[in-house]
Amino acid sequence: MLKEFPVIETQKIRLRKLRLEDAPALLKYYSNENVYRNLDWNGPETLERSYEVIKLWNKGYDAGWIIRFAIADKVIDEIIGTIFLSEFEGKRAEIGYELSEQYWGRGIMSEAVHEVLSIGFNHLNLVRIQAFVSNENIASKVLLKKFNFKEEGYLRKFECHSVTGECKDMWLYSLLNTEFQK
């Protein structure tokens, strides 16, 4: 992984390591069904579970299986989403993200995705970053295509929700290091 967890500032956001004091804000934005609708879980449903999830993600970084950034509002440093690389296998990883609905449509996720792709390709020396997107998640499809991700295939009933058990069709997208616009 990386020697130390990076802190990255863009025009609008700060990407940083999750902190336990982020738990209430994490719980708050995950309380909105629109945020977790296209994910494979509902997010933390209690403050205690929010603390546990943050600890798990940070331990995952230490163990080398995930790097999950808090997406924080740059002005007030409050968490408004997360973005991650995980499922590291050889020179490949998966990207995923979610954002508080009140911040949708402001270009925030574009800034976050660009920085995380840059870390993946330029610092972790990945060759491929892939994403799985539910058929209904039009915004995520548009975002990935903006970064030159290629649609590779349709996966029927591929991802099953950990709470509802509903299995959704997913699209597989990928980006190679040679296709990344630095």
Give the per-residue pLDDT at 162.
Answer: 63
Q: pLDDT under 70 in the chain at which residues?
A: 40-41, 161-163
Whole-angstrom distance, CA of residue 129 vs CA of residue 119:
11
Give the per-residue pLDDT at 157.
Answer: 87
Give the per-residue pLDDT at 99.
Answer: 93
**pTM of the shown model:** 0.93
Whole-angstrom distance, CA of residue 69 vs CA of residue 66:
10
Give the per-residue pLDDT at 163.
Answer: 62
Give the per-residue pLDDT at 41.
Answer: 66
Tens-digit pLDDT profile for residues 114-156: 999 999 999 999 999 999 999 889 999 999 999 999 999 999 9
**CATH H-level, domain 8-129+138-147: superfamily:** Gcn5-related N-acetyltransferase (GNAT) (3.40.630.30)
> Please, are residues 84 and 71 in contact by the beta-carbon 8 Å criterion?
no
Give me the half-sphere count of Cα atoms (radius 13 Å) on the Cβ side of residue 74: 11
Residue 12, burial from CB neighbour count under 10 angstroms (0-12, 13-18, 19+):
middle
